């Protein structure tokens, strides 16, 4: 489960509200960028940001702040508040924002949501469902409709939306705990059809654990982080349900099935059960799997010859993608190679999979065209880390 630390902005300042009441706005931090950097240092991968001025005005107001954080940190930024047009969505995404949140538009202009999903993809569009007494509120929570929050979620799923942020406004900023009852109702009503992020009332680590155990995609924490009732690093650790461990031969069948599913290049010798057994005997400490509740989510098969490391296979099950698992597997394998004094690492990559090369380049690999590993690979990617 993802922990989303939150920064809400009014007049360029980091604030928190109580129950969505603008009159209760209280400054909670001096500088948005420095606050985001602190969240990143604590281990956050995402940050949830809301333009409260924009939510009231109906158009973006504090855009430069979000641009600054997106372009000067490694955080993935999601932004909501005052987003009413496809042009605004596109402009935010062009700035490096990873996801935009549509709130009032979901109720008042559902066609915009459907068009946005088609144009930008469901992974870039989030719908925020904010409710008072289970009824959807809009316009910065200043107006309440007669639409039930679950009914809106079902309609948005039909429009192609796959991620929702649900906020019980009566608990937002109160540190009174998340509304597990309403969250469970939403989860049950949409079972398997969407990702749900809990927002409003997060107080202690118990709220994080409760959301994790409910099977939610994420939890937003704001006031609890600023007042110190929740430690971000501890929350991130408690929220993590995917565990990384060393690969053993007991993982072979599931790993092989995953390699086939992901279209990895395989051969009958090296990738047979006997071949993998030999590989693991030579390098017992550098291959890893990601596992969640006994289900294999990802695998990286990595070894070395005493001079250079080789990533032979690396993939994440399609059911577990966009959760940072691939990055965690690579980091774990590189750390294991570093412990064995390996300074160069080669990734065997195929031209037919060059769409994935961007991921590897983000991990520090450099594409080379002049190598041909065992007549299989058409490209090779090398990483050299001077800190090794």
Q: Would you please indicate which residues are annotated as catalytic (active-site) residues?
A: 8, 130
Q: pLDDT at position 376, please?
A: 38
Q: What is the C-alpha separation between 358 and 184, in angstroms, rounded? A: 37
| Domain enclosing residue 26, as ranges | 2-239
| pTM, entire model | 0.70
My answer on whether 149 and 248 are in the same domain is: no
- On whether both 228 and 300 belong to a single domain, the answer is no
364 band by pLDDT with thresholds 50, 70 and 90? confident
Same domain, 247 and 234: no
Which of these three, 239, 266, 281, is where a domain ends?
239
Give me the CATH number covering residue 285. 3.40.630.30
- What angle separates helix 252-261 from helix 273-282, to the nearest 10 degrees? 110
Q: Which of 206, 239, 272 is the last residue of a domain?
A: 239
The pLDDT-based confidence of 174 (bands split at 50, 70, 90) is low
Whether 194 and 273 map to the same domain: the answer is no
Kindly state the average pLDDT of the residues 61-90.
94
Q: What local confidence, expressed as pLDDT, does residue 349 receive? A: 56
For the stretch 272-309, pLDDT in tens is 999 999 999 999 999 999 998 889 999 999 999 888 88
Total tally of structural domains belonging to the chain: 2
Q: Quote the pLDDT of residue 17.
A: 78
- Which of the two residues, 320 and 223, has the higher pLDDT score? 223
Write out the two tokens for 221.
């924490």
Per-residue pLDDT at 255 exceeds 60: yes
Is the Cβ–Cβ distance between 155 and 187 less than 8 Å? no
User: Which span out of 86-100, 175-189, 303-317, 322-336 was modeled with the highest average pLDDT?
Assistant: 86-100
Q: Which pLDDT value is given to residue 7?
A: 93
pLDDT 10s digits, 135-158: 887 665 555 668 899 999 999 999
Q: Are residues 247 and 192 in the same domain?
A: no
Is the pLDDT assigned to residue 172 strictly greater than 70? no
Confidence (pLDDT) at 369: 56
Question: In angstroms, rounded to a whole number, what is the distance separating the alpha carbons of residues 377 and 379?
Answer: 5
One domain for residues 304 and 191: no
The whole-angstrom separation of Cα 373 and Cα 250 is: 28
Tell me, yes or no, whether 272 and 338 share the same domain.
Answer: yes
Say yes or no to pLDDT of 387 above 70: no
Of the listed ranges 67-71, 173-177, 315-319, 367-371, the one predicted with least confidence: 367-371
pLDDT digits (tens, 9 = 90+) for 224-252: 999 999 999 999 989 988 889 999 999 99
Residues sharing a CB contact under 8 Å with residue 386, sequence separation 6 or more, in sequence order: none
């Amino acid at each position: 489960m993802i922990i989303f630390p939150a920064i809400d902005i009014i007049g360029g300042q980091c604030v928190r509200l109580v129950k969505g009441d603008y009159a209760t706005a209280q400054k909670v931090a001096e500088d948005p960028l420095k606050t985001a950097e602190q969240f990143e240092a604590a281990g956050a991968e995402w940050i949830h940001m809301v333009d409260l001025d924009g939510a009231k005005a109906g158009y973006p107001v504090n855009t430069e702040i979000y641009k600054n954080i997106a372009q000067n940190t490694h955080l993935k930024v999601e932004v909501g508040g005052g987003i009413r047009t496809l042009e605004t969505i596109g402009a935010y995404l062009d700035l490096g924002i990873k996801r935009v949140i549509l709130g009032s538009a979901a109720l008042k202009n559902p066609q915009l949501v459907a068009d946005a999903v088609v144009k930008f993809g469901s992974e870039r569009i989030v719908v925020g469902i904010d409710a008072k007494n289970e009824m959807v509120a809009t316009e910065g929570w200043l107006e309440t409709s007669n639409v039930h929050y679950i009914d809106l979620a079902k309609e948005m799923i039909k429009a192609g939306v796959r991620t929702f942020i649900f906020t019980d406004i009566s608990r937002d900023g109160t540190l009174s705990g998340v509304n597990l009852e309403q969250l469970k109702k939403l989860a049950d009503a949409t079972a398997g059809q969407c990702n749900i992020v809990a927002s409003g009332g997060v107080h202690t680590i118990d709220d994080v654990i409760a959301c994790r155990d409910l099977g939610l995609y994420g939890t937003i924490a704001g006031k609890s982080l600023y007042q110190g009732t929740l430690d971000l690093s501890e929350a991130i650790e408690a929220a993590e349900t995917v565990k990384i461990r060393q690969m053993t031969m007991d993982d072979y069948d599931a790993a092989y099935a995953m390699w086939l599913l992901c279209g990895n290049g395989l051969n009958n010798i090296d990738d047979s059960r006997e071949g993998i057994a030999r590989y693991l005997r030579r390098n017992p400490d550098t291959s890893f799997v990601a596992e969640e509740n006994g289900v294999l989510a990802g695998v990286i098969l990595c070894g070395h010859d005493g001079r250079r490391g080789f990533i032979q296979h690396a993939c994440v099950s399609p059911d577990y993608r966009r959760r940072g698992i691939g990055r965690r597997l690579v980091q774990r394998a590189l750390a294991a190679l570093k412990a064995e004094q390996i300074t160069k690492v080669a990734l065997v990559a195929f031209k037919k999979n060059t769409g994935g090369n961007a991921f590897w380049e983000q991990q520090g690999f450099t594409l080379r065209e002049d190598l041909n590993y065992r007549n299989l690979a058409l490209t090779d990617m090398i990483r050299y880390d001077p800190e090794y």
